[in-house]
Structure 1
């Protein structure tokens, strides 16, 4: 009987520790400084840091806000980033995937909904706000 309790205790302890580590990792991963750790993201970090959106974290724009969807989205994106950076298969210019574009558009609307009553939100926000918050693409290519 005591062995079952020990196994249950250590299993529960492992689950709590893993959960705590994942929570800390996700909280740390929400910081813009974390995103700038990748060489590829340094230009994006510099342009963001000097923009009007500098008080808004990367994941406020680039990740869903609903917990299960955010966890899945960040996990999938993070594993892809690790793979591409490890194998050197990252692009010279970053482009948002269709799934990322959907998330970014929804987050723009979520934050700015008070000012959008007379705006056609079927268009992508970046059609008019091309350089927000990362500057023009040409500027970023020159920086890198």
Structure 2
């Protein structure tokens, strides 16, 4: 039974860095399609944004296993919302990766923060996330399961 579940779920694909592994579950087709047609589609993979990149290999696979378990439970038991959100841990990882990849821009923002943000803005004090302003990067502005009809032709290759 275990081998059957591993085979039918394409579980070994999750050990790779291939973004198509993310669409093994039909639930992620919208995220894949919107990423594929975004500015990040040619420059960054799902793994480069959503998993730890500046930590060790062990941390990367622990995060991957944790996310994989949470995703498989939510998708199997149908306990996710129509608009899929990111966990706090996932948001922290994505934020760290945004800052790391765009360090030349972010260092300029920090240096000139008095010109870019108002000091009375509560978002600055609580650590505003990059996507609070850059909402359409890299998954577009709409995030529902039905927002990309026919998923822009995205199909998993068997």
TM bin (shorter chain): 0.7 to 0.9
Deviation at 1:70, TM superposition (A): 1.0
Q: Distance in 1 between matches of 2:73 and 2:141?
A: 27
Higher Rg of the two aligned structures: 1
Calculate the TM-score normalised by the size of structure 1. 0.74
Normalized per residue, the structure richer in helix is: 1
RMSD: 2.4
1:14-66, CA deviations, whole angstroms, 9 ceiling, x for partnerless residues?
xxxxxxxx997522xx2111101211110111111111101211010011122
**Equivalent runs, 1:110-129 vs 2, <5 Å:** 110-120=100-110, 122-129=127-134
Moved segments of 4+, more than 3 Å: 22-25, 138-141
Asked whether the 8 Å contact 2:18–2:45 carries over to 1, the reply is yes
Higher RCO (CA 8 Å, separation ≥ 6 residues):
2
Calculate the TM-score normalised by the size of structure 2. 0.68
Q: Distance in 1 between matches of 2:141 and 2:46?
A: 17
Residue segments in structure 1 that go unaligned for 5+ positions in a row: 1-21
Deviation at 1:90, TM superposition (A): 2.4
Residue segments in structure 2 that go unaligned for 5+ positions in a row: 1-10, 111-123, 150-158
